[in-house]
Amino acid sequence: MTCLTEPLGITVLGSGSHGNALLIHCGGAGILVDAGFSLKELRRRLQAAGLPESMIRGIIVTHEHNDHISGLRVCANHFQVPVYMTRKCADVLRHRDADLGQLSLFAPGGAFSISSFDIEPFSIPHDANDPVAFVVHCGPCKIGVVTDLGYAGSTVEYQLRQCNTIVLESNHDLNLLAASKRPWPLKQRIMGRHGHLSNDACVELLQRVVDSCTRNIILAHLSQECNRPDIVEKTARRGLAKIARPDIELTIAAQDHPSTTVWNHF
Ligand SMILES: [Zn+2]
Ligand SMILES: [Zn+2]
C-alpha cells in the first residue's frame, strides 16, 4: 500500500515531562517517536487508540532525557524493531544501559528512511546531547515534530514551512511559571535558550511558519504545573486568528491519555 492513497495519521500517545511518545502511521506501518513510557503503559495506550503494535517499524529518539526514553530498551526489545538516534545520544544512553538493541545512528541533517517514511532530523537548542527534531515525509504529506527547544531559530522555521501537520511544544505560561514554587535556577533553565518553548514563543513561531499547506497543529509537552490546556488553546486560537487561519484544526496533546488521531488526507 502506498501513502498516495492511504491517509497519514499522527497519534500522540502522551506528552509532557512525565512521558512522551507519538506514532506516525500510514497504511498499516508506523514509526514511534520517543518511548517515554513503560512497555505496559505504551501498549495500553496503543490499544486505547486502536493502533495495533504490529505496525511499529522503528523507534526514533529525539534526545536522552528520561521523559523520552524511559521505556526505550524494553519497548525496542518487545517490538523487535531498530532504534534510531544520534551518536552522542547513543553514547550517553550506552553509559546507562549497554544493551540498546538494534541501533541505527543518524546525524542531524542526514535523512534516512523507515518503511515508506522519509525522515529528516535537524538540531534544536535544548540542554541535552545533540537533541533533534524531525520532519517526516510520506507520499505527499509532510509532518513536523518539534518539542523540547529553548527557542526557535531559522532552521526550525525553515523545516516547519510547508508541513501539513505541525506538532510543536507549547510548554509553559510565563505568568504561571513565574508564580510557581519552582526554585529560581529551574525557572531559569525552563525559560533559557536551551530550555522549553513558552506558549507565547510557540504562537509567535506558528505565525511565522504557518502557510497554505498547514491543516493541523498539535500543541504538545505542556507543563502540568506551569500551564493549562485552556490557556494554550486560547493563546493559539488568538494567534491563528491574527494571521487569518482560524480554519486550522487544533489539538492539545495530553499527558495522561492518547489524543484523537489527526489524519492527513490526500
Ligand atoms: Zn521532554
Ligand atoms: Zn528534554
| pLDDT given for residue 99 in this prediction | 79
Per-residue pLDDT, averaged over 64-86, amounts to: 97
The answer to whether residues 4 and 266 touch, using CB atoms and an 8 Å cutoff, is: yes
What is the Å distance from ligand 1's center to 65 Cα? 6
The bound ligand whose nearest atom lies closest to the alpha carbon of 171 is 1
**pLDDT tens digit sequence for 214-262:** 999 999 999 999 999 999 999 999 999 999 999 999 999 999 999 999 9
**Which strand ranges, in their side-by-side order, compose the sheet holding 21-26?**
103-106, 83-86, 56-60, 29-33, 21-26, 8-14, 262-264
**pLDDT tens digit sequence for 127-152:** 999 999 999 999 999 999 999 999 99
Per-residue pLDDT, averaged over 170-185, amounts to: 95
Q: What percentage of the chain carries pLDDT values higher than 70?
A: 98
pLDDT confidence of 97, banded at 50, 70, 90? Answer: confident
Q: Is residue 241 part of a domain?
A: yes
Q: Structural domain tally of the chain?
A: 1
Q: Is residue 176 part of a domain?
A: yes
Domain that holds residue 74: 8-254
Q: Is residue 235 part of a domain?
A: yes
Of 118, 253, 133, 101, the C-alpha closest to 205 is 133
Q: Are strands 21-26 and 8-14 parallel, antiparallel or unpaired?
A: antiparallel
Q: Is residue 266 part of a domain?
A: no
Which residue is listed with cell 517499524?
Answer: 57
What is the Å distance from ligand 1's center to 17 Cα? 5
Per-residue pLDDT, averaged over 69-79, amounts to: 96
What is the Å distance from ligand 2's center to 131 Cα? 8
Phi, psi dihedrals of residue 85, rounded to the nearest 5°: -160, 170
Residue 59 scores a pLDDT above 80: yes
Q: Is residue 260 part of a domain?
A: no
The answer to whether residues 176 and 157 touch, using CB atoms and an 8 Å cutoff, is: no
| pLDDT given for residue 4 in this prediction | 56
